[in-house]
Structure 1
Amino acid sequence: MDTIERRPLSGEHYRWLRRELADWQNEGLLDARTAEAITARYADVGDRHRRFSLGRLLLALGGSFVGVGLIWLVAANLDALPPMVRFVAVAAIWLALLTGAELSRVGGAVRGALRLMAALAFGAVVFQAAQSLQVPAFAPGLVGLWAAGALVHAYAFRALLPLVVGVVTGVGWWIAQPLWDDGSAASAVVGIGTAGVVAISVAVVHDRGLTRFGQVWRAAGALLGMVSLFVAAVPYTTTDGFRWSGWLFAALVAAGVAAGAALLVARGRARLEPLVAVAVVGVAGLMVLWDTGTDTSSVGAADWAHAAVGVVAFVALAVALVALGTLRDHPMLTVVAMVGLVVFTTFQSFAAFAAIVQGAWLFLVLGLVFLATGFAFDRARREIAASLEDTEQEGGAR
């Protein structure tokens, strides 16, 4: 049994498993030995994840600063050394960090910090190599190579922090690459929206095994979906200067393939996630095509309708994220939804309502909107949690 890797479960899911096993024992479906063997396959990580650790925080911050510092040194060009010497030095630092993280017997928090530094140091290696080859430092392809290396590191060693680095840099490359040649707002919406579809779809696929990795991808997809709707709802986001490119077509195809794969492997309600992500891209695209002008000092009926549709779509997505966060015991989704809704409501209020409601009255109206929204969200979250608890109790009774 010691050779079996224990799968992490949140506190809520682990307690549900223990209740189910106890009920099955009482019904004679399992004996005590079998129940213990099943329980031994899982680890309760709920309390550990909720406990604040100053040491972990300092190690993560230290690793981040060291990694960013290495990249900064490369950007500063280190003129005192020849290009090849600089590359060898940076590569040696990266290999030392990678070896120390994966081959040494250090503690979990220290290993996480070393892994984070190694993932960031790989970016320094990429940029130093590009500098030696006279490649423009701002080329998005370099970020793409950095993301690829971080993701390979993450999946090869089941390392969570390199995955975070890979997802962040990968999303940055995905969005920046088409904007390198076409900097229109509509291109940004397509890039952000398709990245969200891919991230959510990958998260659903990960539900069959790497659940921790799935949480990272799901949080990224949720944030990207909200950002795509936010940008699409801005009055200045139009199709001016937009043109289709090979990158945008490839992004759409990749998003479609990822969503299809997620639908094939998903079960039950999980199939709704890629469908909602695709719907978000569709709504964002329609919002961009619906051009009502950019003069926010004169608000007409079309502007009100455009703003209303944007608000309804954004609130619907926020509610869906709150429900998903509760169902999957993923508090980050609820945080993303709440913060995004506050920022979006504030922006829309100043964009659409400022021409009608002035000064202190505008802040009074915003405050009332926030209070009502917060009350509605908290009540919805509690009802979803209560419904889940009732469902688990009914299942245990049966």
Structure 2
Amino acid sequence: MTDTSTLTIRPVPPRQLSWLRTEVSDWTSQGLITPEQADAIRTRYRSDHHARSSIGRVLLLLGGGFVGVGLIWLVAANLDQLSPVARFGVVGGLWLLFLVGGEALAARRASAPLVGGIRLLAALGTGAVIFQAAQSLQVPAFEPRLVGLWAAGTLLHGYLARAYLPFVVGIATGLYWWFVQPMWDAQSGLTVVVLLGAAAVLAAGLAVVHDGRLDSFAWTWRTLAGGMALLALFVAAVPEIGGGAVEWSPWLVVVLAAAGVAAAGSVLVRPGLRALEPAGAIVVLGAATLLAMWSTGTDSTDVDAADWLRAAVSVGAYVALAVALVALGTVREHPPLSWMAMVGLVVFTTFQSFAVFAPIVTGAWLFVVLGTVFLGTGFLVDRARRELAQALDTTTDDTDGAAR
């Protein structure tokens, strides 16, 4: 008999717990496990519904966010009466208090919402310290390099402490830096497309590297990769978005090199089918860049064969990407990818239909054409998703049968 008093109780989502209890009852009725073993399995898991959705958790996170934003605001507006050294000391002291306090609470296994709230304060306080130091050194507060340092600091905190909220703050601030820094001196639509595609490559590579090591981080990187890929093709399909050339800068070279290193690292760390994710992102980067460079003219009232061809290629590429993301979401059990793909497809086809068909057909016929496009693309995506899910179920059944 198993001693249940020594088992570690693991919290799981309510839906998974309900499924597990149903399966355990089925296994017991078939004689696969004994009633004692079934009881041992049931007592090892508990629902974490209340921990995840409690009002206390929401209030702690909101409180941490408001205090952190208020701290940065104080740096910008309300500490002028103190000397620069005193201001930096106050802000730095508060940041250290939050940083050390959050990790001390985590080491003592305090309430997860409380630890998350304090860690969020520390992540936001990192920005306050950086901006205060810049103010003391007479560095303009709007410099994107400051946000880049903020992102680097919070990402370092997130990885060293395996802390998710600082990691998310680092992702958000890092995205801002990723796009603003390379375009600080000169802007062009084609550069935006390249940056979106490169972000998809970087995120896809890092998602593969994190798989099996930091699953929550991998989940976030994979979600980001899907979103950036969809945006890259969407922006690239806007007529004349790539009218200007890529505005090269040292920072653009840096971000492209970082994307390449992440893709190469994923292949070295996780060779095999997983390498298809960063490879697919590289294909999206190339396709989006070429599509953005494809110019057909600026007269929206005169839609010729070249405009139709470009629109058809754009829709085809976007549908292919959406189907690929649905497939990836099914294989990786990552529902946000599938939802993003379907929502993105609806928005994209709406945009393309009005951009291409509106100058030709108007009124009710425009909605008939638009609905036809929706039905066709929706049928293709849904059928691909169903066939893939059925194929995966068949593969799993065959594997289970061979194991028996």
Using structure 1 for the length normalisation, give the TM-score: 0.84
Q: Counterparts of 2:266 and 2:363 in 1: how far apart (Å)? A: 48
> 1:116 maps to which residue?
120
> 1:299 and 2:303 equivalent?
yes
2:344 to 340, 347, 364: 340
The one-letter code matched in structure 1 to 2:252 is L
Distance 1:271-1:169 versus aligned 2 partners, 3 A rule: same
> 1:380 and 2:381 equivalent?
no
Gaps of 5+ in 2: 1-5
The one-letter code matched in structure 2 to 1:310 is S
Q: Counterparts of 1:397 and 1:129 in 2: how far apart (Å)? A: 64
Deviates most, 72-81 or 254-263: 72-81
Q: Counterparts of 2:9 and 2:266 in 1: how far apart (Å)? A: 25
Deviates most, 128-137 or 248-257: 248-257
Deviates most, 122-131 or 362-371: 362-371
Q: Counterparts of 1:49 and 1:375 in 2: how far apart (Å)? A: 39
Q: Counterparts of 2:84 and 2:54 in 1: how far apart (Å)? A: 41
Q: Counterparts of 1:228 and 1:325 in 2: how far apart (Å)? A: 19
> 2:234 maps to which residue?
230
> 2:279 maps to which residue?
275
Deviates most, 106-115 or 245-254: 245-254
Distance 1:102-1:390 versus aligned 2 partners, 3 A rule: same
> 1:83 and 2:70 equivalent?
no
Deviates most, 375-384 or 174-183: 375-384
Distance 1:379-1:63 versus aligned 2 partners, 3 A rule: farther
Distance 1:338-1:153 versus aligned 2 partners, 3 A rule: same
> 1:189 maps to which residue?
193
> 2:208 maps to which residue?
204
1:333-373 CA distance string (max 9 Å, x none): 12221222222222222222221232454345434533554
> 1:63 maps to which residue?
64
Alignment of 1:127-166 (within 5 A): 127-166=131-170
The CA RMSD measured in Å over matched residues stands at 3.5
> 1:101 and 2:105 equivalent?
no
Q: Counterparts of 2:309 and 2:400 in 1: how far apart (Å)? A: 48
Distance 1:114-1:158 versus aligned 2 partners, 3 A rule: same
1:169 to 160, 168, 173: 173
Using structure 2 for the length normalisation, give the TM-score: 0.83
Contact 2:239 / 2:298 at 8 angstroms: preserved in 1? yes
1:3-43 CA distance string (max 9 Å, x none): 9999999959x97xx99xx9xxx99xxxx99xxxxx9xxx9
Q: Counterparts of 1:160 and 1:145 in 2: how far apart (Å)? A: 18
Q: Counterparts of 2:283 and 2:46 in 1: how far apart (Å)? A: 34
- How much identity, in percent, do the aligned residues show? 54
Q: CA deviation at 1:59?
A: 3.2
Distance 1:137-1:350 versus aligned 2 partners, 3 A rule: farther
Gaps of 5+ in 1: 34-38
In the alignment of these two chains, the number of paired residues is: 384
Distance 1:156-1:356 versus aligned 2 partners, 3 A rule: same
Distance 1:295-1:139 versus aligned 2 partners, 3 A rule: farther
Deviates most, 189-198 or 261-270: 261-270
